[in-house]
A and B are shown apart, each in its own frame.
Chain A
Amino acid sequence: MNILRIIEQLSEVDADVLGRFDSRRAVFKSLGNTAKMGALAAAPVFVSSLFSKAYGQTTTPSVVEVLNYALTLELLEEDFYKKMTAAGRVPAGAAAGAIATILKHETAHVKLLSDTIRALNGTPVTNVKFKTSAFPADYPTQLVVAQALEDTGVRAYKGQAGNLLGKMAGTTSLLQVALQIHSVEARHAAHIRGMRMQPAWIPASDSNLPAPLGPVYTGAIREDNVIQSNVNITSQLGTPYSANDAAASFDEILTMAEVLDASRAGGLVQG
């Protein structure tokens, strides 16, 4: 996990990033030497709690912070698909066409989010790259990572919807724009899943997959969750439904801290 890189990038757009952590001194102390940095990077639980304290439910992130978080994920996706295209393993025809379509959308999202952040007098995050050492050489594994990125994106946008409620840029509802990106990510995820002979939606069993996909479908609320708004979908709707249908009929959120964790997108950012 490139926790230092992430903190560094956040500090470019959020001068107070370290101030958000419990104690500035304590953080610097734990980042005191390279060996300790390595140890920290290997401790996702600590990192996760660090971020949930800094950006978690106790403090509401600003609109620009939310948009920069979204932009970070879009930049990561954009760079991944550029690398995938450049690697030359995508079969010509339908597969190459689909990857080109998805890349086009990610590039458009990067531009739209960057422009919006600037319009709000913020500074868009830049230079987020997909970690070279994590880029798979073979096409099937590239698709696995693409699925991980897209389904992470769906969960990540969903997790920020509440933070954009009522937020505007001029006369534009930022929540609506985020939702309009969110459903595009879901369409991408569905297609990539289809390229892998998977159902377009997320079956309950995906929450038990090994890494790198498993962590994408777990977290505080797993994708195999069958309880929505305190209603058990399998048993409390009059008609019984299977656990798989109950899980697949609702996608779930990931928090910012969960997405930035080393086991998920946070571990795919180039340091």
Chain B
Amino acid sequence: MSNIKQNASEEAEFAKPLYTPIKRRSFFMYAGATAGATALLLSGCDDDDNEIVTPNGTVNLGSGDVGVLNYAYALEQLEAAFYAQVKATPAADFSTLEKDYFSQVAAHEAIHRDFFKAAINRDAPGQIIPGLTPIFTSIDFTKRASVLATAKTFEDLGVAAYNGAGKYLKTPAYLVIAGQIVSVEARHAAYVRDLISPGSFADDSIIDANGLDKAMEPVDVVTAAQSFIKEKLDASRVGK
């Protein structure tokens, strides 16, 4: 872009993001006038990014809004893989209703994963992280208690992750999407907690004296989730 003088075709190419993706424009409908302009920043914020997968195999979630979206995508991949296994090999001591409800939870998480994949590929082409490899060796999928304990960990962690990451988003439309998802994660968390211990949906172990749920920073969430993911994740620049 150091060349100030541009020929017509270059100019047209440069202006492309402004008007070609009508879909992208309507995506920002909810969020008001400033959002569209922010979308343009998004395509420009990979300039200082390193490779997505470094030579030593670390997956770099990236920076800016794309970093937050990749971070969410990573967590949703983990949850979706977990519940897919729960659905495929349900614990024998699950009730019929529990099996039905966990099939629905599996669908919610698969939808979240697939949605982020589609949104990142559309809005930030070339910046999406790869599919991750889950490590579920610590989970006994044949035992209801083991499945529920892991589900509680993942759901509470997911809620804290979204709660802590919202402030790093610059695009209001993405923030609304994150808000639309986090409340569903909180519903899952409450359901799973009540299955483990009735009435623990929002007990003092998770809600503080101000009536606030947890909020965690991306690096802390990744540290907590890392033992379930083969690839090393780098969240150090998420939202930065």
Given contacts A175-B167, A189-B187, A233-B111, contact A184 B207 (CB under 8 A): yes
CB-CB under 8 A from B188, the residues of chain A are: 190, 200-201
Show the binding face of B for A, using Cβ within 8 Å. 23-24, 26-27, 30-32, 101, 104, 107-108, 110-112, 114-115, 117-119, 159, 162-164, 166-167, 169-170, 172-173, 175-177, 179-191, 194, 198-199, 201-203, 207, 209-215
CB-CB under 8 A from B187, the residues of chain A are: 186-187, 189-190, 200-201
Given contacts A175-B166, A181-B211, contact A249 B201 (CB under 8 A): no
Q: Which of A176, A236, A245, A253 contacts B167 (CB 8 A)?
A: A176
CB-CB under 8 A from B173, the residues of chain A are: 229
Closest to A74 in B: B211
* A38 is an interface residue with CB less than 8 A from chain B: no
**Among A3-11, A106-114, A125-133, the stretch in contact with B:** A106-114
CB-CB under 8 A from B159, the residues of chain A are: 183
Given contacts A105-B207, A173-B167, A176-B215, contact A183 B104 (CB under 8 A): no
A248 CB to nearest chain B CB (Å) = 6
Q: How large is the interface on A (under 10, 10 to 19, 20 to 34, 35 or more residues)?
A: 35 or more
Q: Which of B108, B114, B180 contacts A252 (CB 8 A)?
A: B180
Given contacts A105-B211, A199-B101, A201-B104, contact A183 B182 (CB under 8 A): yes
What separation, in Å, do the CA atoms of A208 and B177 have in the docked complex?
A: 23
What separation, in Å, do the CA atoms of A131 and B172 have in the docked complex?
A: 35
CB-CB under 8 A from A108, the residues of chain B are: 209-211
Contact B111 A176 (CB under 8 A): no
Given contacts A101-B203, A200-B187, A238-B114, contact A230 B27 (CB under 8 A): yes
* A246 is an interface residue with CB less than 8 A from chain B: yes
CB-CB under 8 A from A102, the residues of chain B are: 202
Contact B176 A253 (CB under 8 A): yes
Contact A179 B166 (CB under 8 A): yes
Contact A112 B211 (CB under 8 A): yes
* A21 is an interface residue with CB less than 8 A from chain B: no
For chain A, what secondary structure do more than half of its interface residues adopt (helix, strand, loop), or is it mixed? Answer: helix
Contact A176 B112 (CB under 8 A): no
What separation, in Å, do the CA atoms of A236 and B32 have in the docked complex?
A: 25
What separation, in Å, do the CA atoms of A215 and B207 have in the docked complex?
A: 29
Closest to A225 in B: B180
Offer 25 A-B interface pairs, CB within 8 angstroms, sorted by A. Answer: A94-B198, A97-B199, A108-B211, A112-B211, A158-B179, A161-B172, A162-B175, A176-B167, A180-B215, A183-B159, A183-B163, A183-B182, A184-B211, A187-B187, A191-B202, A200-B191, A201-B187, A231-B119, A238-B114, A241-B111, A242-B107, A245-B104, A245-B108, A248-B104, A250-B111
CB-CB under 8 A from A229, the residues of chain B are: 27, 115, 119, 173, 177
Contact B202 A101 (CB under 8 A): yes
B176 CB to nearest chain A CB (Å) = 6
Contact A190 B27 (CB under 8 A): no
Interface membership of chain A positions 200-222, coded 1 if the CB is closer than 8 angstroms to chain B and 0 otherwise: 11000000000000000000000
Contact B166 A183 (CB under 8 A): no
Contact B184 A184 (CB under 8 A): no
What separation, in Å, do the CA atoms of A81 and B230 have in the docked complex?
A: 47
B223 CB to nearest chain A CB (Å) = 19
CB-CB under 8 A from A154, the residues of chain B are: 183
A9 CB to nearest chain B CB (Å) = 22
Top 7 closest pairs, chain A to chain B, by CB: A108-B211, A190-B190, A186-B186, A245-B107, A180-B212, A186-B183, A162-B172
* A98 is an interface residue with CB less than 8 A from chain B: yes
Q: Which of B27, B177, B180, B190 contacts A200 (CB 8 A)?
A: B190
What separation, in Å, do the CA atoms of A251 and B213 have in the docked complex?
A: 18
* A137 is an interface residue with CB less than 8 A from chain B: no
